[in-house]
Amino acid sequence: MRTLDKIVIHCSATPPTMDIGVKEIRSWHVNERKWRDIGYHFVVRRDGEVQLGRPIEMQGAHARGHNKTSVGVCWVGGVDKDMNPENNMTKEQEAELWCTVQNLMLTYGINKDQVVGHRDLPGVTKACPSFDVKQWIDGKD
């Protein structure tokens, strides 16, 4: 097993009317980007279902320069109908995202300061995951 020290939260940058999952994201990553598999380890669908993506033992393809020691968790949504960043996470998604993050933190000894949004990483200019992860995590205390 590889050493994990960070959880990076992403959004799929899809409007809330687009209920997709691992199958669709894997297709985008493999067929359009020519990656070997989906870049994320977990995907949280609109109804809160958590789907397994790339095996956690494998390095992800979700955060350049941080993939070797991080886990990528993506929630479906993150933009409005005009493709502007928007936190449109459902209550079910938020609950399961938090549960997934907590489980990963406990399993791999990752502290809350190492749970970040994609946009929090150096050099990232995207709004992903369309909410402030640090504020969200701090609100869970």
Residues 6 or more apart whose Cβ sits within 8 Å of residue 18: 12, 76, 77
Q: Which residues are catalytic?
A: 10, 40, 118, 126, 128
- From residue 60, how far is each of 114, 127, 132 by CA, in Å? 16, 20, 22
Residues 6 or more apart whose Cβ sits within 8 Å of residue 71: 4, 6, 7, 8, 41, 42, 56, 60, 104, 108
